[in-house]
Amino acid sequence: MGDGVLGLVGASAITIGLLMLALRLLHRLERRGVGKGRLPMAVLQRLPLGTKQGLLLVRMGRRVLVLGTSDRGPSLLTELKGEERLAALGEAAPADPTALEPRNTDGELRRLFARLTLSLALAASLGAGRLDAQAAARPDTGRAVAISPPAAVAPRAQPAGARTPDRLNVKAPEVPAIDVRIGQGNEQLKLTGTVGLVVFLGALTLLPAVVLLMTGFTRILVVLHFLRSAIGTQGSPPGQLLVAVAVLLTGVVMHPVLQEANQTAVQPYLDGRIDQAEAYRRGVEPFRRFMLANVREKDLTAFTNMTGLENAQSEADIPTLTIVSAFVTSELQTAFWMGFVIFVPFVVVDLIVATSLMSLGMFMVPPVMISLPFKLLLFVLADGWSLVGQNLVASFNR
């Protein structure tokens, strides 16, 4: 027990000694980097821009640097030159403006910035602002001023004939204006501000769903999901693959409709022969004919009565939204009928397997485990995927 305590005390003493040695080395590095440097360094002005951001006007020798500060550290923004540099240093303009102008080389500027960054890091780690205090206290730092907010800094006395420097005005960023316009002339739709942008993005999100509801995608996707459930493979094929197959089969079904819409609406609009309203009217017409050809009369009548259009003289008087609603309901009804037909042969296989297992006394064996290979074999031998695809495409009236 005593040896353990002595070992713990010894380890603690060694750790404390190493920490004191590291602190002493940091003090030496600070004195070498700041106190014995060849270039006088001073913070001339500080402009806070937020809780963790600000601007620093720093003098390093004959140079005046503008630094940006943030939680990620300082960054060099620019260097004052000419009259602005002299005004920041509080000096009069010489007869020869280029006489006292420092040489602007990228290498020197990078070395100065690296030294300044190291000094700021040391000052921050060893006690909050020791760099600025030492630079302001030394006689070779020129006209360095104490760091304070811009409102508390007294105006610097300027020599006669010197140009008064303009204050650095940093304007807070403004919220960008949002103005979305769709169309031209009297039919133009204008969405302004944040609410308009939200409405526009919501419309773009719902647009693919609306377009898919006007095609055979609903029927095809529902039937494919019924097929997967009937076979008994819960995760194969994956849902993404079924959606991709449904999109491809929808393209095959809707190819004549899309081709007609392209020839009668899209191409004339791109050539400038018709306006947007006429292009929309011509483009929707093939889709209306497709939906009316595949909708059930019962569903169409029910939705026209619900929307108060029971006195419509012809199908042209029925709005597109009413036709889409009736078409989707009819597609779901048809898809469920097709799903029932698909389920029947697989249910028969399940019944045969379950009856055989019970007659053999194998009550503990799950019938699904035995029937699944037989259902897969039956589906493959019957060329099921080809039959399902062909019947799905042939089930639409085009």
Residue 340, pLDDT > 90, answer: yes
How many whole angstroms separate alpha carbon 142 and alpha carbon 136?
8
The pTM of the full predicted model, rounded to 2 decimals, is: 0.52
Indicate whether 357 belongs to any domain.
yes
Same domain, yes or no, for 218 and 136? no
How many whole angstroms separate alpha carbon 38 and alpha carbon 19?
30
pLDDT tens figures, 208-230: 887 788 899 999 999 999 999 99
How many whole angstroms separate alpha carbon 146 and alpha carbon 175?
35
Q: Which residue has the higher pLDDT, 90 or 150?
A: 90
Residue 165, pLDDT > 50, answer: no
**Mean pLDDT value of segment 298-308:** 87
Indicate whether 44 belongs to any domain.
yes
- Phi, psi (degrees; rounded to nearest 5) at 16: -65, -40
Q: How far is CA 128 from CA 46, 134, 148, in A?
A: 15, 12, 14
**Mean pLDDT value of segment 321-327:** 91
Same domain, yes or no, for 267 and 373? yes
DSSP H or E segment with residue 277? helix 276-294
Q: Which of 150, 168, 186 is the last residue of a domain?
A: 150
Indicate whether 45 belongs to any domain.
yes
- Phi, psi (degrees; rounded to nearest 5) at 74: -75, 155
- To the nearest whole number, what is the mean pLDDT of the chain? 75
How many whole angstroms separate alpha carbon 164 and alpha carbon 132?
25
How many whole angstroms separate alpha carbon 39 and alpha carbon 74?
19
Q: How far is CA 181 from CA 177, 195, 269, 333, in A?
A: 13, 14, 18, 40
Indicate whether 171 belongs to any domain.
no
Same domain, yes or no, for 88 and 235? no
Same domain, yes or no, for 136 and 222? no
Same domain, yes or no, for 219 and 138? no
Per-residue confidence (pLDDT) for residue 5, from 0 to 100: 64
334: left (phi over 0), alpha (psi -120 to 50) or beta: alpha
Residues 340, 344, 348: CA angle, nearest 5 degrees: 155
Same domain, yes or no, for 127 and 265? no
Same domain, yes or no, for 276 and 376? yes
Same domain, yes or no, for 130 and 262? no
Indicate whether 176 belongs to any domain.
no
Indicate whether 280 belongs to any domain.
yes
How many whole angstroms separate alpha carbon 381 and alpha carbon 386?
11
**Mean pLDDT value of segment 36-41:** 56
**Mean pLDDT value of segment 300-311:** 84
Residues β-bridged to residue 79: 65
Indicate whether 61 belongs to any domain.
yes
* Structural domain of 380: 214-394
Same domain, yes or no, for 255 and 373? yes
Same domain, yes or no, for 239 and 347? yes
Residue 155, pLDDT > 60, answer: no
- Give, rounded to a whole angstrom, the gap between the first and last alpha carbons of the chain: 93
Q: Which residue has the higher pLDDT, 345 or 70?
A: 345
Task: Please identify which residue in the block is written with the tokens 């929307």.
Answer: 307
In the structure encoding, which two tokens stand for residue 374, read together?
């037989």
Same domain, yes or no, for 243 and 324? yes
pLDDT tens figures, 170-210: 555 565 666 666 666 666 666 666 666 777 777 778 778 87
How many whole angstroms separate alpha carbon 110 and alpha carbon 105?
9
Per-residue confidence (pLDDT) for residue 253, from 0 to 100: 92
Per-residue confidence (pLDDT) for residue 232, from 0 to 100: 86
How does DSSP assign 369-384, residue by residue?
Answer: HHHHHHHHHHHHHTTH
Per-residue confidence (pLDDT) for residue 188, from 0 to 100: 63
Contact 309, 322 (CB under 8 A): yes
Indicate whether 197 belongs to any domain.
no
Q: How far is CA 296 from CA 289, 309, 328, 335, in A?
A: 13, 17, 10, 13
pLDDT tens figures, 243-257: 999 999 999 999 999
Same domain, yes or no, for 259 and 368? yes
Of 211, 215, 193, 183, the C-alpha closest to 327 is: 215
Task: Please identify which residue in the block is written with the tokens 């399902």.
Answer: 388
Contact 148, 157 (CB under 8 A): no
Count of domains for the chain: 2
Q: How far is CA 8 from CA 62, 132, 377, in A?
A: 55, 41, 73
Q: Which residue has the higher pLDDT, 57 or 170?
A: 57
